[in-house]
Amino acid sequence: MISVICPVFNEEHYIKHILDHFISVKPAEKELILIDGGSTDRTTEIIREYINKYSNIVLLHNPKRYVPFALNMAITAAKGDPIIRIDAHTEYDDDYYERILEVFETTGADIAGGGYNLRYKTAFQRNVGSALSSKWGTGGSEVFDVSIKGYSDQVAYGAWRRYIFEKTGYFDESLLRNQDDEFHYRAKSAGFKIYRDPSIKLWYYPRGSLSRLFSQYFQYGDFKPLSLSKSTNGIKIRNFFPSALVLYILMSPLAVWLTGSYLFLLPVLFYSIVTLILSLKTFRNLQETPESLLIFFTLHFSYGLGFLKGFSRLFKHYVND
């Protein structure tokens, strides 16, 4: 039997799709553990309707709301092996679980998964997806490269053999974001193998507005320093570029004012020109260029600003200790 776990919060518009997909696909021997973080809509009501019909669906309540607490609750309650995490806002191929089981069997890996295929409901989401998939947008992060097949550092969400947790422990509950990155780096450091396969297909919908995109990547940046402090083998040069950009943008007006020289604005101008050129190359549509520039800038500035906040909090923690 496999265990499928899914944190949920106010998912009344998405939860039926997840439940119907789980019921209809193979293998037959499986359980679904949904962990609710205090939904105020009809999410739990809908789940209970399915529980009344299907004995292999379980609902847990997470008073601490956030994802790492939900994951640890579900892993503790899970009866199956492997344990497969899914997300309510993501769509999955009908053979998603079968492909995961096949990868475990054929490769001997300890963790398995694919990358993020992208789907869109709006033109804005499509443009965000193009930015996320570009090296300029996310610094060459491999998680959006769905062609990768082989051993890797990361997978989308992830499926884990349950014996892993006996050696690595559970998800770090101090990381409200980036907990999966930190866990996978920790597992790899402990000698466990992570395998990526394009046949394990899921489809992710990017954020639908600049404000939601800003909030998402600000939170990623905010918890990244703490994540890296726990798993230093996950450190990449790209992690620091956005925060350096933010610092320079914030400090350059002061430098110009103190020196009277506008030369300090040249790096900002260079960044803007490079972003413009890569926007034209990535989007290939002049009408989309203003929006694409805003998307790139939002990705970089929000992550960088969050990273500085997270680094400041981490620095204060070590100084106080």
Domains, in order of start, for the chain: 1-88 (3.90.550.10), 237-320 (no CATH)
User: Cα(first)–Cα(last) distance of the chain, in Å?
Assistant: 46
The pLDDT score that the predictor gives to residue 320 is: 60
The pLDDT score that the predictor gives to residue 114 is: 95
Residues 293, 294, 300, 304, Cα dihedral to 10°: 150
The pLDDT score that the predictor gives to residue 276 is: 84
3-state secondary structure of 310: helix
In Å, how far are 38, 39, 41, 53 from 57, measured between CA atoms? Answer: 18, 18, 19, 9
Crossing angle of helices 289-320/123-133, nearest 10°?
Answer: 60
Q: Pairing between strand 90-92 and 202-204?
A: antiparallel
Supply the DSSP string of 78-133, one letter for each residue.
--SSSEEE--TTEEE-TTHHHHHHHHHHHH--SEEE---EE--SSHHHHHHHHHHH
The pLDDT score that the predictor gives to residue 237 is: 77
The pLDDT score that the predictor gives to residue 79 is: 96
Q: Give per-residue pLDDT as tens, 109-119.
A: 999 999 999 99
The pLDDT score that the predictor gives to residue 318 is: 60
Instruction: Give the residue from 316, 319, 4 showing the smallest Cα distance to 160.
Output: 4
In Å, how far are 202, 252, 263, 267, 279 from 272, measured between CA atoms? Answer: 34, 14, 15, 9, 10
Question: 178's torsion region: left (phi>0), alpha (psi -120 to 50) or beta?
Answer: left
The pLDDT score that the predictor gives to residue 279 is: 79
Which amino acid is present at 80?
Answer: G
Crossing angle of helices 43-51/15-24, nearest 10°?
Answer: 20
**Paired residues of 204 in beta bridges:** 90, 118
Residues of the chain with pLDDT under 50: none
The pLDDT score that the predictor gives to residue 37 is: 96
Q: Give per-residue pLDDT as tens, 58-99.
A: 999 999 999 999 999 999 999 999 999 999 989 999 999 999
